Structure 1
């Protein structure tokens, strides 16, 4: 009868023993979570001199420069070529892709790049043309109809420096293109 009276007088005050134990565990877990969160925030809180120059702050928070791309991989480049280039330049890189007919001029036959440069593959020129951020004009496309892959290879939704990844894809494409040169 005492339990019933206690329950009826204040319905929220009485809980079975198992439920009280669970509530205490949850409350204890929440306290630990709050304390841990406070510790993390405290470690991230700026402690530097408030009179520090804006330049010093900018240097502290500037992203680290991207590391240079490792040497390119022709097999990875072949995959990237099929995804990004074959629609215009064709599956054999000869400038005869299914989209080629809709362009101002036929895309470059990418198998003859070394031949057009005295037998030497023009690595830096190809890098600049693929990257596109240096505004290299590709005559076949008019005023830069070829995508700016240096930007396209990066995901703006990611809050990271993706320059190394973009340069690696470009290096892989270059390795593949160098591997398909006709003698």
Structure 2
């Protein structure tokens, strides 16, 4: 029994130490980047009704429905990949990765996989997650 408790405790303490190194996301920074980079097409509330987006074909996505379209789970990694420009479909969505560089944090992109991620990109994705209805 001790052989199990000691490694589990060590892993738990290591996880706490790692979590202490990662600054919490800043909703204010995510909101500011959303307003500067996304709102003109997706609208202030993320519904795809921004003034520039009205002239686009296909129209901008309704970002408030991303979790609903994904079985109730917000697709954080997919959103970051799309914003960064790593994945792109059709449409007028520009790549914003170069604008969201700087400080990185470790983010769990898959179970047990910690990936260095630009903090601004994560903040933006978490802000978009807050728009879900």
Place the TM-score, normalised by the shorter chain, in its bin. Answer: 0.5 to 0.7
Note the C-alpha offset of 1:152.
2.7
Classify 1:94/1:69 alpha carbon distance in 2 versus 1 (closer, same or farther; 3 Å).
farther
User: Does 2:35 correspond to 1:111?
Assistant: no
Q: Which of 62, 74, 97 is 1:150 aligned to?
A: 97
SS of 1:128's equivalent in the other structure is helix
- Runs of 4+ in structure 1 over 6 Å off: none
Note the C-alpha offset of 1:69.
6.8
Corresponding residue for residue 176 of structure 1? 127
Corresponding residue for residue 124 of structure 1? 77
Note the C-alpha offset of 1:74.
2.1
Report the TM-score when normalising by structure 1. 0.50
Q: RMSD between aligned alpha carbons?
A: 2.2
Q: Is contact 2:27–2:126 with CA below 8 Å preserved after alignment?
A: yes
Q: Is contact 2:76–2:126 with CA below 8 Å preserved after alignment?
A: no
> 1:151 & 1:112 partners in 2: Cα distance?
26
Q: Is contact 1:69–1:171 with CA below 8 Å preserved after alignment?
A: no
Structure 2, gaps ≥5 residues long: 1-20, 106-116
> 1:75 & 1:90 partners in 2: Cα distance?
17
Q: Is contact 1:72–1:174 with CA below 8 Å preserved after alignment?
A: no
Task: Specify the structure having the higher radius of gyration (Cα).
Answer: 1
Task: Report matched runs for 1:39-50 at 5 Å.
Answer: none
User: Does 2:55 correspond to 1:95?
Assistant: no
Between Structure 1 and Structure 2, how many residues are aligned? 102
Note the C-alpha offset of 1:137.
2.0
Note the C-alpha offset of 1:72.
2.6
> 1:167 & 1:118 partners in 2: Cα distance?
27
Q: Is contact 2:63–2:132 with CA below 8 Å preserved after alignment?
A: yes
Task: Report matched runs for 1:67-78 at 5 Å.
Answer: 70-78=23-31
User: Does 2:117 correspond to 1:164?
Assistant: no
Note the C-alpha offset of 1:168.
1.1
